Amino acid sequence: MVKKEGYSFSTMWNIRRHTSGSGMIEEILSLGFEQVELNYNVTTELMNTITPMIEKQQIKVSSVHNVFPFIADKDYDTDSMMLGFDDLEKRKRSVALLISSVDYAHRYGAKGVVVHPGEVPFSYNIDNELKRLMREHGKESSEYRTLWTEMIERRNELAPIHVKRIQESLETVSEYITRKNLDVKIGIETRSRCNQIPTLQEANQIIDNLQGSPVYLWYDIGHGMLMDGMGLYNNVKEIKQMKHKVLGVHIHETVDMVDHWCPYIHSEDDQTFDDFLEIIDAAPIKVYELRAPCTEEQIEASFRVMNQKLMEMRGN
């Protein structure tokens, strides 16, 4: 088991297997990681045994994932309108929750907070339906194209107002970070559903409009692969143009429109993921974010392949 120096590992992988926070962290340490990303399912109870490990420097926290720690409120879960709510009070609550996540990041020495900013609302899960149509009929089918057109027209119509609200919300949080002189940055994450914000272009717009603030892109590689596969944006081309705006990366790959698999291993594809090595190498925070079925052996094999390719890319 090689040490994964410079890399972090998300608690997404093993949080469902543990009732003890310290046990969850010890399992991640056994993989060779010395840093962890505390994801949005980490509860206050789990933190009771993780906090002493942080204080004793047994583990470093690279990042926390908003909303942190976990709150049992569907209005503010990972798939909601969040910073772009139409309702002003809900939007204020979302801002307050993000500020709380920032405070926790600062307390634990984390340099980044991962944020799902929002979405264009639909009356049902249109993304799920589109993916079903793609699997059953294909991307070029009339069934898929008809619903895709309906989705993209509504998205194009409503996204600008949500992007504006998200930007204003992030500005409030940025002012708080600056006022408190906190060494914490915000990373707005590329998302896994086609109606969610931001696309890479939307992220670019928000970051440019907030130039000078601690707001950057959190590039989720597998999510980018998903959205490219659905036709929302040109993932590889656009991310390479934004490389200097990336705070962190979530490292995983998408196989058959399912994400969070081990790069190179589950796809058995030795080339496609190479497109992202340059982005991973440049990102200040690098986090493996994998689903529970990934085994220790697969994680190790994936890291070895990727690390070897990165060394060759650098000329080492």
pLDDT tens for each residue of 252-267: 999 999 999 999 999 9
pLDDT tens for each residue of 60-97: 999 999 999 999 999 999 999 999 999 999 999 999 99
Beta bridge partners, 113, equal 64, 186
Write the DSSP assignment of 101-157 as a string of letters: HHHHHHHHT-SEEEE--EE---SS-HHHHHHHHHHHH-TTSHHHHHHHHHHHHHHHH
pTM: 0.97
Query: In this structure, are residues 155 and 195 in contact, taking their beta carbons and an 8 Å threshold?
Result: yes
3-state secondary structure (DSSP) of residue 144: helix
Does residue 316 surpass a pLDDT of 80? Answer: no
Q: Which two tokens stand for residue 273?
A: 């993921």
pLDDT tens for each residue of 150-180: 999 999 999 999 999 999 999 999 999 999 9
pLDDT for the residue 311 = 96
Q: Which two tokens stand for residue 5?
A: 């120096």
Q: How many helices (H) does the chain have, and how many strands (E)?
A: 10, 12
Query: In this structure, are residues 173 and 94 in contact, taking their beta carbons and an 8 Å threshold?
Result: no
Strands 253-255 and 258-261: antiparallel
Alpha-carbon distance of 206 to 184, in angstroms, equals: 18
pLDDT tens for each residue of 183-240: 999 999 999 999 999 999 999 999 999 999 999 999 999 999 999 999 999 999 999 9
Write the DSSP assignment of 176-237 as a string of letters: HHHHHT---EEEEEP-SSTTEE--HHHHHHHHHHTTTSSEEEEEEHHHHHHHHHHTS--HHH
Containing 119, the helix (H) or strand (E) segment is strand 118-119
Whole-angstrom CA distances from 143 to 128, 146, 150, 226, 227 are 14, 5, 11, 19, 18
pLDDT for the residue 218 = 98
Q: Which two tokens stand for residue 186?
A: 């915000």
Mean pLDDT of the chain: 97
Query: In this structure, are residues 248 and 114 in contact, taking their beta carbons and an 8 Å threshold?
Result: yes
pLDDT for the residue 13 = 98
**Main-chain dihedrals φ then ψ at residue 41, nearest 5 degrees:** -95, 0
Range 10-22 average pLDDT: 97
Does residue 1 surpass a pLDDT of 90? Answer: no
Alpha-carbon distance of 29 to 18, in angstroms, equals: 14
Containing 94, the helix (H) or strand (E) segment is helix 88-108
